Structures are given as structure tokens and as C-alpha cells.
């Protein structure tokens, strides 16, 4: 597809440039880096115009609908070898709340979710905790597995075999071999790129003490998934110390991989929320305008990719995200809390439906794998294709739509 290019420069000329840039956007092509850099810094008075362009791009992509995935959240283990500055999820062994779920616990939550119409089992877990903690090695030995990834694979297979839920694992960095193995028991998987800014690894920054957050390593995992045509969810974090320019470059890195492999099923734009007792407790949160600009620019850089932003992190006015061009609300659980952001409850599904409809969109339940990627997932294994076939409707959405 041709790119819209401009010679827009950053600085005080923004006010005059955003309007003319937006006029060009009606062409509907993905915007180029220089245009994105100008738009992500556009002044507040240009925001309505930017949002209108993003919403129009969303409507060309998926008219009239917004989707969500009804899920259960399975925090398989909250032990993690990384120490990200914004994280409330992770624990060290012996910390209050440190826990690794047993197979019985996994199955109990999945079955309870099944009764509530859930179709996704989201596995979230710390990155390779056994490399740092002997306690985790002991837990895995007791459970009968060599590593956290071996245990995750078995739990995905258990949920797939015993319930109608489809697993979607988020286990951190993965080798090519582990992508293959997990893809046999889950139709899609995810890894947030978060940012391409290496400076966030410096002492005192958000990714100091987080060896798995090296951007090149995360890009490699996403690329390996692409080489294997595995439907993949990724995204960026807003407000962890990166600049607006970094946000554009992170989106461009994702776009580059998607252009090469076509496997990015979803890009999440997630805003940092401050919480007590995190190293970044005094950090400023991104503004509403920052978030709307980032979402709108994501839509315009990736006009043919599903863009998601979480409503619970954008309450109370989360429906504005629909104006900025998202077409998906992500996973919403009627059962389990958001263990990553436990102080921000998910909206009630009926509320979400009403607010989505008030913005002019029909709310539809999707599977963890998006409709355009169902056929890629179907070819992975007999058990997976059988379960997918039972779960999917003729439009590629959730058959038991609720």
C-alpha cells in the first residue's frame, strides 16, 4: 500500500501542519513516520479532527462493530525473574500473595468461566521464575515439570481438552521451539513489545532489573512467531518514560513485522496507571489526550490491524477510545479480577454494551483468535482445530455469543 508522506517537521509549526496532514488522511492509506510524529504531538484543538480521521479509518476496516473477548484470567504463577517499575503482579517467593496455581485450580476457574459463557482462558505469568528462584524449581519438580513453559503447555492442553475455552498464553520471551509447542495447544498468543526505547533499561528507569524487556529480544520473539504464522497479539505501553516519538517507533516496529509476516492479529495500546507500592508510585500518568493521540495514531499507522485498548484502565470515560479508532475492548471477565491491575475492575458487560451502542457500534463477542486468523490456527493440531470448530461462528466470532 502507498504511504502518505509529508515533509512535516516537529516543533512550533505543528499547529499549522496537523490540519493539512489530516486533510490528506481521507486517502485511507497507512501514514508515514513523519506524519505520525506530527500527529502524535498535535495540539488539543486539533484532537477532534484527529479522532474523526481515526474513527473513519476504523470504519473502513471493520464498520459498525466493536468486539471483546469473554475470558477467565489464569495467573498461572506470579513469580517472575523481572522487576518492572510499574508492576503490581509479580511476587518473590514468600511474599504475601505469591502463588503458583495447581492444575485443579486452573480447571476449576476455567469450568466456572465456561458456565458464564467465556471462550478465552488467558494465561498470564511471570517470565521464567525458575531461573532466579529455587522455590519455583521445587514447585515445578513437585508438579512434575521441567520448566514453567512445560507446565504452561500442559495447562493449556488441559483446558483445551477438558473445557470449551481456548487458551491464549502470555508467558514472556519465547524461543522458536516454544512458539511451535504452545501454538499446538492455543490458537493465538501474546507478548507486549511495550517500547523500542533502550533507555528504559538504564538504572532507575522502568525496565532497570528487567532482563526480558530488552526490545531486540522481544522483537525476536514476535518475529519467530511471524515466521511460523502464529496469530500474535502485541502492543505498547504509554507513559513508562518513553517519548511520543518512541510510541511512533514502537508502532512502526510492529508494522514492519506485520508487513513481513502478516501475523499481528491485534495491537494493544495500554496506558500506565500509577499504583501505591510500585517503584514508579510517584510517576505521572499519561493524560487523556496522550492516550487518545496514541490510539488514533496507532489506527492511522495500522489501518488494517485490530487495535485494542483496555476499558478498565481508561474509566470512567473509556468509550472515548471508540472515537480514537479502537475496534476491540480486549478480554473482559465476568468472573476473575484483572490480576495485573486489581484496583481497576472491568466494567460490567452490560455497561460495556450500552456505552458501545451509544457510540454507534454493535458489541460482539470474539474468540481469543481474531476472525481473520482462525484458519491459520485451525491447521495446528487435531485437538485445536476440533475445539476451534466448535467455538467459532460463520463470521469467525464466538458461536456462543453473549
Q: In the complex with ligand SF4, which residue's Cβ is closer, 213 or 364?
A: 213
Is 309 in contact with 327 (CB distance < 8 Å)? Answer: no
Q: In the complex with ligand SF4, which residue's Cβ is closer, 71 or 90?
A: 90
Q: In the complex with ligand SF4, which residue's Cβ is closer, 126 or 169?
A: 126
Closest contact distance (angstroms) between CB of 241 and ligand SF4 is 14
Q: Which of residues 262-301 bind ligand SF4 (CB under 6 A)?
A: none
CA angle 360-334-148, nearest 5°?
A: 120
Q: Among 125, 116, 126, which residue's Cα sits nearest to residue 70?
A: 116
Q: Among 50, 84, 132, 392, which residue sits at the site for ligand SF4 (rule: CB under 6 A)?
A: 84
Q: Which of residues 133-162 bind ligand SF4 (CB under 6 A)?
A: none
Binding mask 108-137 for ligand SF4 (x = CB under 6 A): ------------------xx----------
Q: How many residues bind ligand SF4 (CB under 6 A)?
A: 11
Q: Which cell numbers hold the place of 378?
A: 485451525
Is 213 in contact with 207 (CB distance < 8 Å)? Answer: yes
Q: Which cell numbers hold the place of 273?
A: 496507571
Closest contact distance (angstroms) between CB of 247 and ligand SF4 is 18
Q: Strand, helix or coil at 353?
A: helix
Closest contact distance (angstroms) between CB of 164 and ligand SF4 is 28
Q: In the complex with ligand SF4, which residue's Cβ is closer, 54 or 76?
A: 76
Cα within 13 Å of Cα(328), Cβ side: 28
CA angle 214-216-217, nearest 5°?
A: 70
Binding mask 44-83 for ligand SF4 (x = CB under 6 A): ------------------------------------x-xx
101 binds ligand SF4 (CB under 6 A): no
DSSP string, 269-329: EEE----TTSTTTTPPPPPHHHHHHHHHHHHHH-TTS-EE--GGGGTTSTTHHHHTT--EE
Q: In the complex with ligand SF4, which residue's Cβ is closer, 114 or 130?
A: 130
Q: Give exposure, 314-330, as e/b (b: 16+ Cβ within 10 Å).
A: beeebbbbbbbbbbbbb
Cell 489506527 locates to 299
Q: In the complex with ligand SF4, which residue's Cβ is closer, 87 or 388?
A: 87
Q: In the complex with ligand SF4, which residue's Cβ is closer, 92 or 162?
A: 92
Q: Which of residues 354-393 bind ligand SF4 (CB under 6 A)?
A: none
Q: Which of residues 176-215 bind ligand SF4 (CB under 6 A)?
A: 210, 212
Q: Among 272, 261, 204, 276, which residue's Cα sits nearest to residue 231?
A: 261
Q: In the complex with ligand SF4, which residue's Cβ is closer, 89 or 318?
A: 89
Q: Among 90, 258, 263, 366, which residue sits at the site for ligand SF4 (rule: CB under 6 A)?
A: 90
Q: Is 172 exposed, middle or buried (0-12, 13-18, 19+ CB in 10 A)?
A: buried
Q: Give exposure, 271-310, as e/b (b: 16+ Cβ within 10 Å).
A: bbbebeebbbeebeebeeebbbbbbbbbbbbbbebbbbbb
Q: Among 22, 30, 75, 89, which residue sits at the site for ligand SF4 (rule: CB under 6 A)?
A: 89
Closest contact distance (angstroms) between CB of 213 and ligand SF4 is 7
Q: In the complex with ligand SF4, which residue's Cβ is closer, 312 or 365?
A: 312
Q: Under the rule (CB under 6 A), what is the footprint of ligand SF4?
A: 80, 82-84, 87, 89-90, 126-127, 210, 212
Amino acid at each position: 500500500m502507498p504511504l502518505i508522506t509529508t515533509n512535516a517537521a516537529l516543533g512550533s509549526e505543528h499547529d499549522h501542519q496537523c490540519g493539512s496532514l489530516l486533510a490528506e488522511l481521507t486517502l485511507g492509506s497507512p501514514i508515514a513516520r513523519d506524519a505520525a510524529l506530527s500527529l502524535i504531538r498535535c495540539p488539543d484543538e486539533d484532537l477532534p479532527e484527529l479522532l474523526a480521521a481515526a474513527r473513519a479509518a476504523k470504519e473502513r476496516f471493520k464498520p459498525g462493530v466493536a468486539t471483546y473477548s469473554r475470558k477467565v484470567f489464569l495467573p498461572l504463577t506470579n513469580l517472575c525473574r523481572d522487576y518492572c517499575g510499574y508492576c503490581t503482579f509479580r511476587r518473590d517467593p514468600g511474599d504475601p500473595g505469591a502463588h503458583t496455581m495447581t492444575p485443579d485450580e486452573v480447571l476449576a476457574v476455567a469450568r466456572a468461566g465456561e458456565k458464564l459463557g467465556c471462550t478465552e482462558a488467558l494465561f498470564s505469568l511471570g517470565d521464567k521464575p525458575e531461573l532466579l528462584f529455587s522455590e519455583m524449581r521445587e514447585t515445578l519438580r513437585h508438579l512434575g515439570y521441567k520448566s514453567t513453559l512445560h507446565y504452561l503447555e500442559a495447562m493449556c492442553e488441559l483446558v483445551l481438552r477438558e473445557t470449551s475455552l481456548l487458551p491464549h498464553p502470555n508467558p514472556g520471551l519465547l524461543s522458536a521451539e516454544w512458539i511451535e509447542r504452545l501454538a499446538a495447544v492455543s490458537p493465538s498468543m501474546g507478548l507486549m513489545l511495550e517500547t523500542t526505547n533502550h533507555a528504559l533499561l538504564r538504572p532507575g528507569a522502568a525496565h532497570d532489573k528487567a532482563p526480558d524487556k530488552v526490545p531486540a529480544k522481544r522483537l525476536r520473539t514476535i518475529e519467530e512467531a511471524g515466521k511460523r504464522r502464529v496469530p500474535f497479539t502485541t502492543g505498547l505501553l504509554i507513559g513508562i518514560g518513553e517519548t511520543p516519538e518512541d510510541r511512533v517507533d514502537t508502532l512502526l516496529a510492529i508494522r514492519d513485522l506485520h508487513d513481513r509476516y502478516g501475523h499481528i492479529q491485534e495491537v494493544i495500546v495500554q496506558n500506565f496507571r500509577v499504583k501505591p507500592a510500585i517503584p514508579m508510585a510517584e510517576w505521572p500518568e499519561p493524560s487523556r489526550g496522550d492516550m487518545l493521540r496514541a490510539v488514533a495514531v496507532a489506527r492511522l499507522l495500522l489501518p488494517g490491524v485490530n487495535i485494542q485498548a483496555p476499558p478498565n484502565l481508561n474509566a470512567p470515560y473509556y468509550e472515548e477510545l471508540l472515537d480514537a479508532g479502537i475496534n476491540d475492548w480486549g478480554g473482559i471477565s465476568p468472573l476473575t479480577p484483572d490480576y495485573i491491575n486489581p484496583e481497576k475492575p472491568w466494567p460490567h458487560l452490560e455497561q460495556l454494551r450500552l456505552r458501545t451502542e451509544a457510540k454507534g457500534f454493535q458489541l460482539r463477542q470474539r474468540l481469543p483468535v481474531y476472525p481473520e486468523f482462525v484458519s491459520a490456527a485451525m491447521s495446528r493440531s487435531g485437538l485445536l482445530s476440533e475445539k476451534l470448530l466448535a467455538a467459532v461462528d460463520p463470521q469467525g466470532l464466538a458461536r456462543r455469543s453473549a
